[in-house]
Structure 1
Amino acid sequence: MGLPADQLSPGETVILEMHEHWKHLLGAILICLAALVGLAVVLAIGPDDGFFAWLDTLGWVAFAGVVLVFGVWPALAWWNRSYTLTSERLATRTGILRRSGRDIPLNRINDVAFDQGILDRIVGCGTLRVSAASEEGTVVLKDIPQVHQVSLRMNELVRQIGDR
């Protein structure tokens, strides 16, 4: 779900297409697992008949709601948030129902930096900060897989553009 071919200019090639690391979904996964445990408890202790028999149905409805809001929606948002590095620009695209994007020409990039916390180092991702000569300033790309290689490749492309 990166940059479509019809949005590339003539001669422009895609170098890297990235999504945030799956680590970004850990909170959503844990919430869904907690909802599953809650559903199991409700189904185990809820009576099969009598006045409180509706608790089973309520448990299923609550579980479905939690999974949709805290599981499916964040997963769709993660899937639809992409970063594309081309031979001419860095393109960011976000949104499910309403799409938005930002393109930074490589010749406008001043600085490329990265940060990594302890968990980031363990799973191999990090935050990439791209400073551009524009009103918007710095673009922060969180949880980028292999942030060292992405930073190095972006610096190489910026240097090549500057040498032209």
Structure 2
Amino acid sequence: MFADEPGYFLLACVLVPIGVGIVWLIVWWIKTRCTLLTVGEERVLLSRGVFSKERLEIELESIRTVRIDQSFVDRIFNCGVLKIYTAGDNPELVQKGMPDPERLRSALRS
């Protein structure tokens, strides 16, 4: 969580004595734990959500572009934003806070 958004994480830690920070960190942790990205042999599956689930499947053969966006802090902590394009100018899948994005890109390309 720190690697994904270090500024928000530090702000939440500062707010822990007030009580707001601990709630913020717990909700953030639950959201993080309930997000799963799976790269299979034929498709990519993204599943996220706590009470209501969102599932997105993309066939590997229909992937046109895989884009990884990393800020300077993201590069230090080896994480980034994954964007998968199939057709058109808008990404079909956008997921923040992905660890080791270069390994993920190579898995999607092979």
> When the two structures are superposed, what TM-score results if normalisation uses the length of structure 1?
0.58
How far apart, in 2, do the equivalents of 1:130 and 1:77 lie?
21
Give 1:67's aligned residue: 22
Query: CA shift at 1:26, angstroms?
Result: 3.6
Q: Which letter does structure 1 place at the counterpart of 2:60?
A: L
Structure 1 counterpart of 2:86, from 118, 127, 132:
132
- 1:116 aligns with 70
Aligned-residue CA RMSD in angstroms?
2.2
CA contact (8 A) 1:25 1:74 kept: no
1:24 match: secondary structure: coil
Segments of 5+ residues of structure 1 without an aligned counterpart are: 1-20, 40-61, 157-164
CA distance, structure 1, for counterparts of residue 9 and residue 61 of structure 2: 39
Alignment of 1:137-148 (within 5 A): 137-148=91-102
Q: Quick one: which amino acid aligns to residue 25 of structure 2?
A: G
Please, which runs of 5 or more residues in structure 2 have no aligned partner?
none
**Distance in 2 (alpha carbons) for counterparts of 1:137 and 1:95:** 20
Per the TM alignment, residue 28 of structure 1 is displaced from its structure 2 partner at its CA by 5.2
The answer as to whether partners of 1:109 and 1:132 remain within 8 angstroms in 2 is yes
> More helix by proportion, 1 or 2?
1
Q: Structure 1 or 2: larger strand share? A: 2
CA distance 1:140–1:118, shift in 2 (3 Å): same
Question: Within the alignment, does 1:153 sit opposite 2:80 as a pair?
Answer: no
TM-score by length of 2: 0.82
Number of equivalenced pairs: 109
Higher RCO (CA < 8 A, seq sep 6+):
1
